[in-house]
Amino acid sequence: MTVDTVEVAQADPRRRQPYNELGLKQDEYRRIRTILGRRPTAAELTMYSVMWSEHCSYKSSKMHLRQIAEKAPPSDALLVGMGENAGVVDVGDGWAVTFKIESHNHPSYVEPYQGAATGVGGIVRDILTMGARPVAVMDSLRFGPATARDTGRMLPGVVAGIGGYGNCLGLPNIGGEVDFDRSYVGNPLVNALCVGVMRRDGIKLARATGVGNRVILFGAKTGRDGIGGVSVLASATFDEGDAKRPSVQVGDPFAEKVLIECCLEIFAADLVVGIQDLGGAGLSCATTELASAGEGGMHIDLDKVPLREPSMSAEEILASESQERMCAVVRPEHVNAFFAVCAKWDVLATVIGEVTDTGRLQVDWHGARIVDVPPRTVAHEGPIYRRSIQRPAEQDAFVNHDGRTLPRPHTRDQLRATVQQLAASPGLADKSWITDQYDRYVLGNTVLAQPENAGMVRLADNTTRGVAISIDGNGRYTRLDPYAGAQLALAEAYRNVAATGARPLAVTNCLNFGSPEDPSVMWQFSEAVRGLADGCRELGIPVTGGNVSFYNQTGATPILPTPIVGVLGVIEDVNRRTPHGFWSDGSLIYLLGETREEFGGSEWMHVVHGFLGGQPPRVDLRRERVLADVMIDAARDRLIDSAHDLSQGGLAQGLVECCLRHAFGARIALPPGTDAFVVLLSESAGRAIVTVPRSMEARFTALCIARGLPHGCIGVVDSLSTALEIEDQFRIALPELLQAWSATFPRLFG
């Protein structure tokens, strides 16, 4: 068969091309022809199709995401913002931290283990390309009902994939979350976060600068796995029975481990001008993005690419998403030193091209030119859609049907049973079945890990400075009010970080939604982005980067709109961190913030009644800042010895988790004249419980008064007690509570 070269494309303009099969619309194909002044070659069509996919080009979300940057608060800490592989923030003492979260949802449905494993591998490489050593990972997961057959297939594989890849890399998994809802049947969410540490002057960028500099592909060989992953798998909805296994990448964590060490030694020797990982869209992405962000010109000889399967076509080589590969731009005089480092780590490295002054990306194969394109049109000038937006017709019914007629527990025994039922529900139950499969303490710098409020790591062995990270989201809240739901996710992650004693500094996000071609979904998305942008401005912390994942639905049924928000904070001395569990006998338990009757989207409605309706909890971001300041200052001055944010499950669930953390009982006296059901199970935001040593009570309450933070002593930690006792209501023995809380996952998943 004749190779489809640029010369052939010019001579044969009428050849039918499978643009639709590759995920391109007719008008997009016409635009490509206009850009090139001819029809694209088969290789060019492949590159445009993967790079103009929803996953890579953000064509439906870009116009909305701009407001995040436009509304961003000023930040002296922000070193690298949106647009690079990951954002970078200055955390003091010459240190910088990079972190980002991305999705691997559809691959994890098709092949749970490899889908989740390569999701971890991909986000780790994003962090590595910034010049940082990856130091920790986290994950946020969503599945259908825990008892669903589909969940039984996917959850164990996803968890094994995350643990298997991360553990082999030697990276601690320091936290995350998992929740369940029928909307995720057939479309799980697997969002992976990685954080990396570097010196402030060690930042690397994805730019191909310097005419004559060599383009080096290094790492694993290129195979057929993952072809079409971004254009077909990640940018389309699933129908029942879909099977797209060829689109799932296959990971090798041991190859990635040596690649990490190889890169870090290359960085230390200052041997690269620019660097990019090969993840989604593979070599198409790496070459076009490097060229577009640099001098604009690059020549690639595709015959030089090391292949696992010699029979691969040029289109397959360009679109392959084989893992554990990197692309570097290196000065000619540094090539030998670069190769020497790669040889030391037994990493395959090959010069496949060079930077040119042509302003075009040109690719040759078998001695013929098969690609000749302006790289920016491929990488950064894809289509931008102004999708139709329409508030769902049923939205008012959701909000107005607030569940006030749902039967509430009227007796003390019923209230006691409800607290236990919630504690044993899959969304709130002990997650040790999952986290015990992860190594949380490898590398020796983990300070806090799940089930704590947030994960925390020391930056290096020779410093007490550390960072804390939390990732949170609530699809039920966002379904009821997308604007408020995004802000509630932001507020919870912000609150969780502050509860450890770290000061929130920056935000990343992964926005998981249904099809952008559905006007109702685009209304949810636009409102959530607006809420996130306004919330970050109000809290004074910038978004450093993130990910949008559309087409999360099975057939015509979208998932709950699920923005997952990650917040990173810095703490000067990790020895002054605040854990969440009760551990100090006689300490006084304080409830901070205001409790209102707020049950819309609550765990009580979801677990007990299978109901979704009403308004989510009210958001007051100014109060969140005050609460955070109090917890941070109290931790610094050692006025508190534990802190736990209140969110899903309310005060009752917070008390359960605090008591069971170290098997310390508590005696609680609810405020007089209040409704015990509301006080215990409301999910009002902007709240936390802290324990205060008796000797610090006066100073702590003075701090709350000075900041105008509502507070009240509601009980005492009692090491001799073997129960959680709510005076005048009920008493639950800790062994009984532990059995209810810890038995759920082993019972469901073996």
Residue 43: closest CA among 366, 367, 365: 365
**Torsion region of 189: left, alpha or beta (phi above 0 gives left; psi -120 to 50 gives alpha):** beta
- 8 A C-beta contact, residue 183 and residue 558: yes
Q: What domain range is 677 assigned to? A: 578-750
Average pLDDT over residues 330-337: 98
Average pLDDT over residues 84-93: 94
Mean pLDDT of all residues belonging to the chain = 95
pLDDT in tens, 100-152: 999 999 999 999 999 999 999 999 999 999 999 999 999 999 999 999 999 99
What is the pLDDT averaged over residues 277-300? 91
Are 143 and 151 in contact by the 8 Å Cβ rule? The answer is yes
Token pair of 287 as six digits: 């070459």
Does any domain span residue 665? yes
Greater confidence (555 vs 269) lies with: 269
Count of alpha carbons within 13 Å of 568, Cβ hemisphere only? Answer: 33
Give the pLDDT confidence of 35-59 residue by residue, as tens digits. 999 999 999 999 999 999 998 999 9
Confidence of residue 228 (pLDDT cuts 50, 70, 90): low
- Please, what sign has the CA dihedral across residues 397, 403, 405, 406? positive
Please determine, for residue 229, whether its predicted confidence score (pLDDT) is greater than 70.
no
CB 481 within 8 A of CB 465: no
Establish whether 334 is a catalytic residue. Answer: no
Q: What is the pLDDT of residues 361-384, one digit of tens each?
A: 999 999 999 999 999 999 999 999
What CATH code is carried by the domain that includes residue 585? 3.90.650.10
Q: Are 75 and 542 in contact (CB under 8 A)?
A: yes
Sheet of 562-571, strands arranged across = 446-448, 455-458, 466-472, 562-571, 503-512, 543-549
Tokens (6 digits) for 745: 């996952």
Q: How far apart are CA 371 and CA 318, in angstroms?
A: 11
The answer to whether the beta carbons of residues 416 and 732 sit under 8 Å apart is yes
In the predicted model, is pLDDT for residue 433 greater than 90? yes
Q: Cα dist. 340→336, 345, 488 in Å?
A: 6, 9, 50
Are the C-beta atoms of 94 and 141 separated by less than 8 Å? Answer: no
Closest listed residue to residue 542, CA positions, set 96, 82, 72: 72
Predicted confidence at residue 240, as pLDDT, reads: 47
Mean predicted confidence (pLDDT) in 387-409: 92
Q: Which of 202, 206, 220 is nearest to 126 (CA)?
A: 206
What is the 8-class DSSP label of residue 217?
E
**Euclidean distance between CA atoms 207 and 394, whole angstroms:** 47
482 close to 528: Cβ distance less than 8 angstroms: yes
- The answer to whether residue 676 is domain-embedded is yes
Amino acid sitting at position 237: T
List Cβ neighbours of 410 (8 Å cut-off, separation of 6 or more). Answer: none
* Active site annotation includes 380: no
How much is the pLDDT for 245? 46
pTM of the complete model: 0.96
Of 104, 106, 606, 644, the active-site residue reads: 104
Residue 215 has pLDDT above 80, yes or no: yes
Q: What is the pLDDT of residue 145?
A: 97
Q: Does residue 747 form part of some domain?
A: yes
Please indicate, yes or no, if residue 684 is contained in any of the structural domains: yes
Calculate helix-pair angle for 149-169, 112-129, nearest 10 degrees.
Answer: 40
Per DSSP, the residues of 674-736 read: S-HHHHHH---SS-EEEEE-GGGHHHHHHHHHHHT--EEEEEEEETT--EEEETTTEEEEHHH
Q: How far apart are CA 651 and CA 668, in angstroms?
A: 11
The mean pLDDT of 679-697, rounded to a whole number, is 98
Rounded CA-CA distance 540/625 in Å is 9
d(C-alpha 563, C-alpha 356), whole Å = 41
Question: Of the listed 55, 106, 580, 644, which one is catalytic?
Answer: 55
281-284-289-290 Cα dihedral, nearest 10 degrees: 130
Contact 677, 408 (CB under 8 A): yes
User: What are phi and psi for residue 9, nearest 5 degrees?
Assistant: -60, -35
* Cα–Cα distance for residue pair 643/24, rounded to 1 Å: 51
Of the candidate ranges 246-250, 282-286, 299-303, the one whose mean pLDDT is the lowest: 246-250
Q: What are 236-245's pLDDT values in tens digits?
A: 565 544 444 4
The candidate with the shortest Cα–Cα distance to 350, out of 480, 216, 483, is 216
554: three-class secondary structure by DSSP: strand
Residue 55 maps to a domain = no
For residue 429, being part of any structural domain is answered with no
**H or E element in which residue 522 lies:** helix 519-539
Amino acid at 186: G
Calpha distance 495→646 (Å, rounded): 9
Answer yes or no: is pLDDT of 578 > 50.
yes
**pLDDT above 90: residue 556:** no
* Domains held by the chain: number: 1
How high is the pLDDT of residue 239? Answer: 56
Give me Rg for the CA atoms of the chain: 26
Coil, helix or strand for 10?
helix
Residue 590 lies in a domain: yes
Residue closest to 136 by CA, chosen among 449, 349, 507, 572: 449
| Torsions phi, psi for 431 (to 5 deg) | -100, 20
pLDDT of residue 241: 47
Nearest CA to 732 out of 420, 411, 408 is that of 420
**493-541 pLDDT per residue, tens:** 999 999 999 999 999 999 999 999 999 999 999 999 999 999 999 999 9
Lookup result for tokens 């499969």? 437
Least confident among 31-45, 46-60, 218-232, 719-733: 218-232
* Maximum CA extent, the chain: 88
How far are the Cα atoms of 225, 468, 533, 704 from residue 538, in angstroms, in the given order? 44, 21, 9, 21
- Output phi, psi for 277, to 5 deg: -85, 160
Distance CA 399, CA 607 (A): 19
Please give the order of strands across the beta sheet that includes 368-373: 274-277, 325-330, 214-219, 349-356, 297-301, 361-365, 368-373
Sheet containing strand 723-726, strands side by side: 642-645, 688-692, 588-592, 711-718, 665-668, 723-726, 730-733
CA distance 697 to 705: 12
**740 found inside a domain:** yes
